[in-house]
Amino acid sequence: MNQNKDPAYGRDFKWRNVKREDLQKATDLLVDNERKYVGACGRFLSRAEGDHLWVLSGKNGEIAALAVNSRSTLIPVLGANNNTLWPDFPVNYLRSKSIHSLQGMTDEVIHFEKSMSKAGRKISDQYDYDLMYIDRIPDIKNKRSCPANLVLRTPSLAELDLITPLQAAYEMEEVIPAGSSFNPKASRLSTAKMIAGGKILAAEINGRFIGKIHVNAISFTRYQVGGVYVHPEFRALGIAGRMTAEFITALLSECRGITLFVKKNNIPARRLYTGLGFTGKGDYRITYY
């Protein structure tokens, strides 16, 4: 972390919209800090019309930090240059855009929360997570046995109606913030995109899908996994661990690393990931507005 506390140091940098000539420097910053910013990298790489990229630029054109605003989510990327004296993000922009969530490394999100507050935005909900990563195939020998009739496989689009209820249950249990309502059409559409992308694994018992896990972001050399869900009737049977182990083993065989974030109060999940070999990378936060 940059320890320079000279107030003039922060004043030498200003937030501005990205220019074409900034893109390589922005890419380099993301690549250098990829483990912490898989979600931001994914949105940077897949940015579309309507998305916005801001850079914190110095007098000589250097890029010290980024902010990615994509699909109503704002993600700060302060990297190794995090400095408490950086200028606040432009309040007028925050007032003019429909930003529903702010997410990223906790200390960086807190810095941006101050700007959101100045823009008159009120927090509706907030979750704190552990950011974790793994870069080697896990050792699953001697792990807890699962039901003998458990089948793990990739579902097809023809099975969309069988997977959608699991994704819906996951969203209502783990994702939907206070004050928001579940959107069945949006959930079904996102599930269809997951299946079409092929980066999803389902757990099946006696022809019934009872669990799932999928990739929710792809960066330069890493996958971010999420959506780990097992139907309540089939929990505490080792299914989540087996499903996660097999899924990330297949992904790691592609010579990519894996990142995920897990709620700090979800002790069983944290224990599961640690047991598979995941290492903590830092504190992660999602703040909803």
pLDDT tens digits for range 205-249: 999 999 999 999 999 999 999 999 999 999 999 999 999 999 999
Considering the domain architecture, whether residues 233 and 186 belong to the same structural domain is answered as yes
Considering the domain architecture, whether residues 155 and 181 belong to the same structural domain is answered as yes
Q: DSSP characters for 42-66?
A: HHHHT--TT-EEEEEE-TTS-EEEE
What does the angle CA 112 – CA 176 – CA 207 come to, to the nearest 5 degrees? 135
Identify the pLDDT of residue 197. Answer: 93
Considering the domain architecture, whether residues 108 and 228 belong to the same structural domain is answered as no
Considering the domain architecture, whether residues 143 and 283 belong to the same structural domain is answered as yes
Nearest to 231 by CA among 163, 129, 156, 155: 163
In this prediction, what percent of the chain has a pLDDT beyond 70? 93
Considering the domain architecture, whether residues 162 and 266 belong to the same structural domain is answered as yes
Residue 4's pLDDT band, with cuts at 50, 70 and 90, is very low
**Residue 166 or residue 71, greater confidence:** 166
Q: Flag whether 127 is in a domain.
A: no
Domain final residue pick, 97, 122, 147:
122
Q: Which two tokens stand for residue 61?
A: 């054109």
Name the residue range of residue 159's domain. 134-288
The mean of the pLDDT values for the chain is 92
Confidence check: pLDDT of 11 > 70: no
Query: 257-271, pLDDT tens digit by residue?
Result: 999 999 999 999 999
Average pLDDT over residues 137-151: 81
Identify the pLDDT of residue 82. Answer: 62
Identify the pLDDT of residue 81. Answer: 63
Instruction: Classify residue 111 as exposed, middle or buried by CB count within 10 Å of its CB (0-12, 13-18, 19+).
Output: buried
Do 202 and 248 touch, CB atoms closer than 8 A? no
Q: Flag whether 129 is in a domain.
A: no
Considering the domain architecture, whether residues 196 and 260 belong to the same structural domain is answered as yes
Q: Flag whether 128 is in a domain.
A: no
Q: Flag whether 184 is in a domain.
A: yes
Q: Flag whether 1 is in a domain.
A: no
The 3-state DSSP class for residue 176 equals coil
Q: Rounded to a whole number, what is the largest CA-CA distance in the chain?
A: 66
Considering the domain architecture, whether residues 103 and 188 belong to the same structural domain is answered as no
CATH number, residue 62: 3.40.630.30
In this prediction, what percent of the chain has a pLDDT beyond 90? 85
Identify the pLDDT of residue 139. Answer: 74
Structural domain count, the chain: 2
Q: Are strands 200-205 and 257-263 parallel, antiparallel or unpaired?
A: unpaired
Q: Report which DSSP code applies to 172.
A: I
Average pLDDT over residues 15-23: 95
Q: Flag whether 69 is in a domain.
A: yes
Residue 83's pLDDT band, with cuts at 50, 70 and 90, is low
- Classify the C-alpha dihedral 249-77-263-101 as positive or negative: negative
Element (H, E) at 221: none
Considering the domain architecture, whether residues 148 and 278 belong to the same structural domain is answered as yes
Considering the domain architecture, whether residues 48 and 155 belong to the same structural domain is answered as no
Considering the domain architecture, whether residues 77 and 13 belong to the same structural domain is answered as yes
Average pLDDT over residues 110-127: 96
Nearest to 141 by CA among 228, 241, 210, 213: 241
Identify the pLDDT of residue 7. Answer: 42
Considering the domain architecture, whether residues 152 and 206 belong to the same structural domain is answered as yes
Domain final residue pick, 122, 150, 176:
122
Considering the domain architecture, whether residues 14 and 117 belong to the same structural domain is answered as yes
Query: 268-287, pLDDT tens digit by residue?
Result: 999 999 999 999 999 999 99
Residue 10's pLDDT band, with cuts at 50, 70 and 90, is low
Domain final residue pick, 73, 97, 122:
122
Rounded distance, CA 44 to CA 154, Å? 28
pTM of the model: 0.91
Query: 153-203, pLDDT tens digit by residue?
Result: 999 999 999 999 999 999 999 999 988 999 999 999 999 999 999 999 999
Residue 143's pLDDT band, with cuts at 50, 70 and 90, is low
Q: Flag whether 2 is in a domain.
A: no
